[in-house]
Amino acid sequence: MTKPEPSAQGVACCDVVNRGPAYSNGRVFYNVLDGHTVAIDANTGKEIWKTKLGDINIGESITMAPLVAKGKVLVGNSGGEFGVRGWIAALDEGTGKLLWKAYNTGPDSEVLIGPDFKPFYDQDRGKDLGVSSWPPDAWRIGGGNVWGWISYDPDLNLLYHGTGNPGPWNAEQRPGDNKWTAGIFARDLDTGKARWFYQWSPHDLYDYDGINENIILDMDWQGQPRKVIVRPERNGYVYILDRTTGEVLSAVPFVPVTTTSGVDLKTGKLRYNADKAPLVGKVVRDMCPASPGGKDWNPSAFSPKTGLLYLPHNNLCMDLEEVQANYIEGTPYVGAEVRMKAGPGGHRGVFSAWDIAAAKEKWAIDEPFPVWSGAIATAGNVVFYGTMEGWFKAERRDGRDAVAV
């Protein structure tokens, strides 16, 4: 097993983690904290190739699980809290050779935006928005990392990946929408070229990111068959998007939300509440959800038997004060003082079932702490999740008869 450089631990935000390997054609692929992707023989453990993609000296690390599709190993970087510019890359499964690399801030040529890029909403159309929606040169240290989950649709030959928060957290230092952060890209798997983009949280004020898992479904929506992505997002809304176009079909809160008042389905824009906008030198209280979001990295599970999405998530609010952030390569670049607390009801976590077709919660179980495990739904009418107290719980899919071990 490849060992990362010890100094990589000092630039790992947020914690020294690895989110898992991938397997394909007798090989195991995994990422290393110090910026390498490695392939080993699954039978012998012998290293086949090792490719360096990141630079720990600037605060860049790799914590995500790779995805393998059509002979390509897909990898993204971490480091938004260090002013690291986000990207996603494709490596050749057999050799580790870099096939393409797309940045998530900067000029169109580096974001791989060209004639095939056709976003659904007007605000995402224009030349070099990854530059003009930032103060001069701020996009170079602007975040937008791909430290979360990637999905692939073989019928459309499109991969879908979220983009992380813009840097720094202090939003007053980066006026503009800060594209292409806190959103989702659809890209051609073969070339990496962008097909569409949607921004969950333009000019992200709360570190909501946009990296959560994509639930890919083919379903009837309001009487019409649609290819959709279902996304329980950190900003507190469960989104349903048409995955061929990026159109938002639905966006409904699944947690208490005070920071915004909803999503305009005509424009796709998130409506921020002015009285909860963070400010330099002032503590703004009771922002819900807190920066870990309504749901963070903890994956949900979908059951085709019930049509329900099972969500392990948070019930957290925060008080926040912005402070000046100074960029020094390889050091934290944040600019915020945060105090988190339990949300309405006094509990900090929830495990819930979400009716996708009806766009509403079916049932919920309150937990004293955030539910930071993933979930799994089985054909035996049981759903599993874990708690921060160390319990492994099994629930009937109607939310009754809990068993904990």
Length of the chain, please? 405
Catalytic residue among 34, 60, 77, 81: 81
CB distance 233 to 200 below 8 Å: yes
pLDDT score at 398: 67
CB distance 74 to 159 below 8 Å: yes
For the domain covering 1-211, report its CATH number.
2.140.10.10
202's tokens? 């333009």
Catalytic: 81?
Answer: yes
Domain ranges of the chain: 1-211
pTM, 2 dp: 0.96
pLDDT score at 3: 72
pLDDT score at 362: 95
Distance separating alpha carbons of residues 91 and 37, to the nearest angstrom: 9
Catalytic residue among 77, 165, 214, 298: 165
C-alpha atoms less than 13 angstroms from C-alpha of 282 in its C-beta half-sphere? 8
pLDDT score at 7: 65
Torsion of CA 17, 22, 28, 29, to 10 degrees: -60
Catalytic: 110?
Answer: no
pLDDT score at 74: 98
Distance separating alpha carbons of residues 134 and 118, to the nearest angstrom: 21
CB distance 282 to 323 below 8 Å: no
Q: Which helix (H) or strand (E) holds 131?
A: helix 129-132
pLDDT tens, per residue, the chain with 405 residues: 667 777 666 667 766 778 899 999 999 999 999 999 999 999 999 999 999 999 999 999 999 999 999 999 999 999 999 999 999 999 999 999 999 999 999 999 999 999 999 999 999 999 999 999 999 999 999 999 999 999 999 999 999 999 999 999 999 999 999 999 999 999 999 999 999 999 999 999 999 999 999 999 999 999 999 999 999 999 999 999 999 999 999 999 999 999 999 999 999 999 999 999 999 999 999 999 999 999 998 999 999 999 999 999 999 999 999 999 999 998 999 999 999 999 999 999 999 999 999 999 999 999 999 999 999 999 988 999 999 999 999 988 666 655 555
Catalytic residue among 177, 207, 296, 322: 207
Handedness of CA 205, 210, 212, 216 (dihedral sign): positive
Q: Which helix (H) or strand (E) holds 385?
A: strand 382-386
Catalytic: 207?
Answer: yes
Distance separating alpha carbons of residues 39 and 73, to the nearest angstrom: 10
